[in-house]
C-alpha cells in the first residue's frame, strides 16, 4: 500500500543529518551543561553553539533565545510570563480568535485569574482585522498576540502591521511562529516582534524541543521554576540532544528554504487547482492568494459529507491528512478557526487539511486527487444531504 | 482508535441507499452537529423485509448505520423497537466511548422509521424531509 504523508503541519520527519548530529549527545557527550567539570563544559559548548546558530538564523542575539519543550510551553510562557510581570501595570491582553489551543486554553485559565482578553476577529480568508485590533487597545493592555501563520488554513498574518500598531501604543507583541518558522524567512531584528515561539519538529527537528525568543528588555515572569538554566528564566536540565538537533534542523531548513518553499507551493497549487476544478461543491479555506498562504497548506471543506469519514477513507488508501471536524478532535464543536472565518457549522464539519512537504511528489499529489474524487463521490452517495441536490453527476 | 470490525463496516457498508417503496422513514440528527442518519424500511406483515440508510457523519456513524440496518432486517416491528444502541455497539465490539452518540442515532433512526410506518398505517401523513432534532 502507498504511504503518502500530507500532514506536515502536524509534524515532520526528523532529518537524518539532524539525527546523526544529535546521537553523540545521547552517548559520549552526555554531560549536564550545568556541571562545572569537563563533561559539563563539553555539553555547554554544544548548547552555546546551538544557541548562536539559531540566533543568527532569525536575526536575534544569542541571549534572546530560551530553550523550551516546544510550542505549547513557549506559548504558555509568553502569556503567563507577561501577565505575571506586568499585572501591576494592566490586566488586559489582545489575541486573535484563531490562535492555537495552546494560546486559547491558556487565555481561558488566565481569565479565571482575573485577566481580561479581547479576541480579535478575522475576515473570511483568516486575516486579522487590524482596525478591530487597534480599537481594542486600552490603557491597561499589556500584550498583543497574533500567530505568524495559521496552522489550519495557512493564512499568513500581517505581522509587520500588527507589530507597528503594538509599537505605536507601547505594548509588547507576541507571535506564535510554530507553523511559519520552517516555511518563511523570519528576521526579528527588522521586526517589531518582542516574543516569538517556535517548535523544532515542524521543521524536521526532534519533538519535545522548542524555543521562545525574548527581546532584550522584555519583562517576563518564569513559567518553570528550578535551577539556573536559561539564565535563571527557565528551570530544568537542558535537553542537549534536542537543542543540538533543533539548531541543525533550522540551519538545514534555512539553507534551502527558498527552493523548498517554492517546490512545496507548486505541489500545493497543483493540488488546489485540480481539487477546485474536478470536485464539485468544495470550498477552499484560507487565502486564495498563494503568497499570503503557507506554502505547504491546502484546506478544503467538502459539502454534504463529514471530515472524519473522509480522513479515514484517505487513511485506508494510504494518505495521511488532518480534519477540522469535531469528530476527529473528540469535541463536539467543529474548528474554531473555520467558524471564525464564517464557514457554517455543517460545512466546517466536512473540512480536511492537506499539508505538503519537500519529500512529496507530483505523482503523490495526483494520486491523492484521484483517490479523493472517488472517496468524495462515494461518501456523497451515502449522504442524506446530497440527494436533495439531485446532482449525482460528475462526482 | 477504531477496531477492525468498525473499520470493516465503514469500508464496506451494507444497505446503503433508500429502500424502493419504503413505508417507514426516520431521519435524526442535524448537520450543525455533524451527524444526520436516515433509515428507510419496507415492512410487510409486521416484519422488516428491507432496510437501508443514508448517513452524513463520521466513520462510527456510517459503521453503526450499516450494522443496525443489517440487524433489523428480518425482525418483527416489536423486535426492532427493542433494538438498543447497546446491542449495536456490542455487535461492533464497541466503538470508542466518544462515539457512542452515533449508535444512539441508529437506534433513534430505526424507532423514528417505525413510528413513521405506524402513522402511515393509521393514515397520518408525516413531513418526510423534516429532520427530527436530537
- The per-residue pLDDT for range A169-184, each reduced to its tens digit, is 999 999 999 999 999 9
Burial zone of A70 (CB within 10 Å; 0-12 exposed, 13-18 middle, 19+ buried): buried
* Interface residue of B31, B35, B133 to substitute, partner A, most A CBs within 10 Å: B31
Residue B27 pairs in a beta bridge with B38
* Closest partner CB to A330 (pick from B27, B59, B98): B98
User: How much is the pLDDT for A327?
Assistant: 59
Cβ contacts (< 8 Å) between B18 and chain A: which residues?
Answer: 387
- Averaged pLDDT, B105-125: 91
Residue B126 has pLDDT above 60, yes or no: no
Q: Calculate mean pLDDT across residues B121-131.
A: 64
What percent of chain B shows pLDDT beyond 90? Answer: 68
User: How far, in Å, are A54, A160, A214, B74, B82 from residue A163 at the CA level?
Assistant: 22, 5, 15, 68, 63
CB-closest option in A306, A316, A334 to B57: A306
CA A384 – CA A367 distance, rounded (Å): 28
- The C-alpha atoms of residue A250 and residue A89 are separated, in whole angstroms, by 37
Average of per-residue pLDDT values in chain B: 89
Please tell me which residue of chain A has the smallest CA distance to B38: A384
Q: What is the ipTM of this complex?
A: 0.88
Task: State pLDDT tens for residues B13-66.
Answer: 999 999 999 999 999 998 887 889 999 999 999 999 999 999 999 999 999 999
Sign for the pseudo-dihedral over CA of A160, A162, A166, A172: negative
From the list A202, A253, A206, A179, the residue with the least C-alpha distance to A14 is A206
Chain A residues with CB-CB distance to B10 below 8 A: 309, 312
Mean pLDDT over A185-204 rounds to 97
Average pLDDT of the residues in B100-114: 90
Predicted confidence at residue A326, as pLDDT, reads 59
- Picking from A75, A68, A56, A58, the residue whose alpha carbon sits closest to that of residue A230 is A68
Q: Are B69 and B15 in contact (CB under 8 A)?
A: yes
Query: Kindly report the CA angle at A371 between A8 and A314, in degrees rounded to 5?
Result: 50
What is residue A329's predicted lDDT score, i.e. its pLDDT? 54
Looking at residue B100, its pLDDT comes to 79
Q: Do B54 and A345 touch (CB under 8 A)?
A: no
CA–CA separation, A320 and A328 (whole Å): 13
Q: How far is B46 from chain A (nearest CA, A)?
A: 26
Distance CA B70, CA A354 (A): 35
Which tens digit of pLDDT belongs to each residue from A291-328? 999 999 999 999 999 999 999 999 999 999 998 765 55
A304 vs B: CB within 8 A = yes
pLDDT tens-digit series, residues A126-146:
999 999 999 999 999 999 999
Q: Which residues of A are catalytic?
A: 327
CA dihedral of residues A388, A390, A394, A395 (deg, nearest 10) = 30
Banded pLDDT at B133 (limits 50, 70, 90): very low
Q: What residues contact A188, with CB distance under 8 A and at least 6 apart? A: A58, A59, A60, A64, A196, A213, A215
pLDDT of A386: 87
Residues comprising chain B, all counted = 134
For residues B48 and B118, what is the distance between their CA atoms, to the nearest angstrom? 13
Q: Which grid coordinates belong to A281?
A: 461543491
List, as one string, the DSSP characters of B12-63: S-SSBS--TT-SEEEEEEEGGGTEEEEEEEEEETTEEEEEEEEEES-HHHHH
pTM as predicted:
0.93
Nearest CA in chain B to A308: B58
Retrieve residue A111's grid coordinates. Answer: 481569565
Minimum Cα–Cα distance from A343: chain B residue: B32
Q: Indicate if the pLDDT at residue A103 is higher than 90.
A: yes
What is chain A's mean pLDDT, rounded?
Answer: 95
Strands (DSSP E) contained in A303-350 are 319-320, 322-323
Catalytic residue (one of B33, B49, B90, B93): B33
Residue B33: active-site member: yes
Whether B34 and A384 lie within 8 Å, measured CB to CB: no
* Residue A123 CA, distance from chain mean position: 19
Return the sign of the alpha-carbon dihedral for residues A234, A239, A240, A243. negative
Rounded to whole angstroms, how far apart are CA atoms A76 and A84?
Answer: 12
Do β-strands A282-285 and A210-214 pair in parallel, antiparallel, or remain unpaired? unpaired
Give A330's contacts in chain B (Cβ within 8 Å).
Answer: 98
Q: How far is CA B38 from CA A21, A341, A376, A391, in A?
A: 57, 30, 19, 19
Q: Which of B34, B38, B98 sits opposite A306 (nearest CB)?
A: B34
Amino acid at each position: 500500500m502507498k504511504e503518502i504523508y500530507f500532514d506536515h503541519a502536524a509534524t515532520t520527519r526528523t532529518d537524518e543529518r539532524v539525527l546523526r548530529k544529535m546521537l553523540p549527545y545521547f552517548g559520549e557527550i552526555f554531560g549536564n551543561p550545568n556541571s562545572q567539570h569537563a563533561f559539563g563544559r563539553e555539553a555547554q559548548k554544544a548548547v552555546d553553539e546551538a544557541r548562536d546558530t539559531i540566533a543568527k538564523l532569525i536575526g536575534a542575539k544569542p541571549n534572546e533565545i530560551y530553550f523550551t519543550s516546544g510550542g505549547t510551553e513557549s506559548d504558555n510562557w509568553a502569556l503567563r510570563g507577561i501577565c505575571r510581570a506586568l499585572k501591576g501595570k494592566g490586566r488586559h491582553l489582545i489575541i486573535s480568535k484563531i490562535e492555537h489551543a495552546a494560546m486559547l486554553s491558556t487565555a481561558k485559565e488566565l481569565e479565571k485569574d482575573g485577566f481580561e482578553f479581547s479576541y480579535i476577529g478575522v475576515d473570511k480568508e483568516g486575516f486579522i482585522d487590524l482596525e478591530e485590533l487597534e480599537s481594542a487597545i486600552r490603557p491597561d493592555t499589556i500584550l498583543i498576540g497574533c500567530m505568524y501563520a495559521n496552522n489550519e488554513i495557512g493564512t499568513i498574518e500581517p505581522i509587520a502591521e500588527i507589530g507597528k500598531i503594538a509599537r505605536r501604543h507601547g505594548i509588547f507583541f507576541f507571535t506564535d511562529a510554530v507553523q511559519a518558522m520552517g516555511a518563511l524567512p523570519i528576521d526579528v531584528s527588522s521586526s517589531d516582534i518582542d516574543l516569538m515561539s517556535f517548535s523544532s519538529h515542524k521543521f524536521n527537528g526532534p519533538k519535545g524541543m522548542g524555543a521562545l525568543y525574548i527581546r532584550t528588555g522584555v519583562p517576563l515572569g518564569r513559567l518553570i521554576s528550578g535551577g539556573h538554566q536559561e539564565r535563571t528564566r527557565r528551570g530544568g536540565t537542558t535537553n542537549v540532544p534536542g537543542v543540538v538537533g533543533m539548531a541543525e534542523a533550522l540551519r538545514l531548513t534555512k539553507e534551502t528554504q527558498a527552493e523548498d518553499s517554492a517546490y512545496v507551493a507548486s505541489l500545493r497549487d497543483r493540488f488546489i487547482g485540480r481539487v477546485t476544478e474536478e470536485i464539485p461543491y468544495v470550498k477552499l479555506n484560507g487565502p486564495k492568494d498563494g503568497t499570503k498562504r503557507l506554502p505547504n497548506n491546502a484546506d478544503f471543506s467538502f459539502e454534504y459529507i463529514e471530515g472524519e469519514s473522509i480522513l479515514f477513507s484517505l487513511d485506508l488508501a494510504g494518505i495521511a491528512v488532518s480534519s477540522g471536524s469535531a469528530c476527529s478532535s473528540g469535541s463536539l464543536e467543529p474548528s474554531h478557526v473555520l467558524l471564525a472565518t464564517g464557514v457554517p457549522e455543517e460545512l466546517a464539519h466536512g473540512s480536511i487539511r492537506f499539508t505538503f512537504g519537500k519529500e512529496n511528489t507530483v505523482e503523490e499529489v495526483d494520486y491523492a486527487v484521484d483517490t479523493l474524487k472517488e472517496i468524495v463521490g462515494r461518501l456523497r452517495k451515502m449522504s442524506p444531504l446530497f440527494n436533495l441536490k439531485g446532482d449525482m453527476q460528475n462526482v | 482508535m477504531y477496531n477492525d470490525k468498525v473499520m470493516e463496516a465503514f469500508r464496506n457498508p451494507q444497505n446503503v441507499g433508500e429502500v424502493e417503496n419504503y413505508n417507514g422513514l426516520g431521519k435524526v440528527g442535524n448537520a450543525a452537529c455533524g451527524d444526520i442518519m436516515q433509515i428507510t424500511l419496507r415492512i410487510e406483515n409486521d416484519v422488516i423485509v428491507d432496510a437501508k440508510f443514508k448517513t452524513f457523519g463520521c466513520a462510527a456513524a456510517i459503521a453503526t448505520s450499516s450494522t443496525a440496518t443489517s440487524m433489523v432486517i428480518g425482525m418483527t416491528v416489536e423486535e426492532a423497537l427493542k433494538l438498543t444502541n447497546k446491542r449495536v455497539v456490542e455487535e461492533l465490539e464497541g466503538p470508542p466511548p466518544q462515539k457512542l452518540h452515533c449508535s444512539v442515532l441508529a437506534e433513534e433512526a430505526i424507532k423514528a422509521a417505525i413510528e413513521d410506518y405506524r402513522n402511515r398505517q393509521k393514515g397520518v401523513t408525516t413531513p418526510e424531509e423534516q429532520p427530527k432534532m436530537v
